[in-house]
Amino acid sequence: MKTAIIGAGIGGLATAVRLASRGHEVSVFEANSYPGGKLSEFSLDAAGGSYRFDAGPSLFTMPHYVDELFEAAGVEPNFVYDRQEIVCQYFWDDDTRLTAWADPERLAEEICEKTGVSKPQVKRIFESAKIKYQTAGSVFLENSLHRPNTWFSLKVLKSLLMMPRFDIFRTMHDTHRSLTGHNPKLTQFLDRFATYNGSNPYRASGMLSVIPHFEHGIGCFYPQGGMFEITKAVYGLALKKGVKFHFNTPVEEILVEKGAARGIRTAEGTSDFDRVVSNMDVYFTYNRLLPNEKKPEKTLAQERSTSGLIFYWGIKKQFPELHLHNIFFSGDYKKEFDALQKGEICDDPTVYVNITSKLTPGDAPDGSENWFVLINAPYNAGQNWTELVEKTRANVLRKLSAILKTDVASLIETEDLLDPLLIEQRTASFAGSLYGTSSNSLMSAFARHPNFSAKLKNLYFVGGSVHPGGGIPLALLSAKIVDEVMG
pLDDT value at residue 144: 75
In this predicted model, what pLDDT tens digit does every residue of 217-268 receive, in sequence order? 999 999 999 999 999 999 999 999 999 999 999 999 999 999 999 999 999 9
Cα separation, 392 vs 110, in Å, equals 32
| pLDDT tens by residue, 190-209 | 999 999 999 999 999 998 99
Low-confidence ranges of the chain (pLDDT < 70): 137-139, 145, 148, 150-157, 159-164, 443, 445-446
Instruction: Tell me what pLDDT residue 193 has.
Output: 96
Cis peptide before 468 (omega within 30 of 0): yes
Which long-range contacts does 131-139 make (Cβ < 8 Å, 24+ apart)? 132/166, 132/207, 132/209, 132/210, 132/213, 133/210, 133/213, 133/214, 133/217, 135/159, 135/162, 135/166, 136/162, 136/163, 136/166, 136/207, 136/210, 137/207, 137/210, 137/213
CB 61 within 8 A of CB 215: yes
The domain limits of the chain are 2-33+247-303+437-486, 40-102+219-226+306-434, 108-211
Does domain 40-102+219-226+306-434 fall under CATH 3.30.470.20? My reply is: no
Task: Report the CATH number of the 2-33+247-303+437-486 domain.
Answer: 3.50.50.60
Residue 168's pLDDT is 83
Neighbouring C-alpha atoms within 13 Å toward the C-beta of 333: 21
What does the pLDDT read at residue 142?
A: 76
State the DSSP string of 412-476.
EEEEEEE-HHHHHHHH--GGG-SSSB---STTHHHHSBPSB-SSSBTEEE-STTBTT-SSHHHHH
Domains 2-33+247-303+437-486 and 40-102+219-226+306-434 share a fold: no
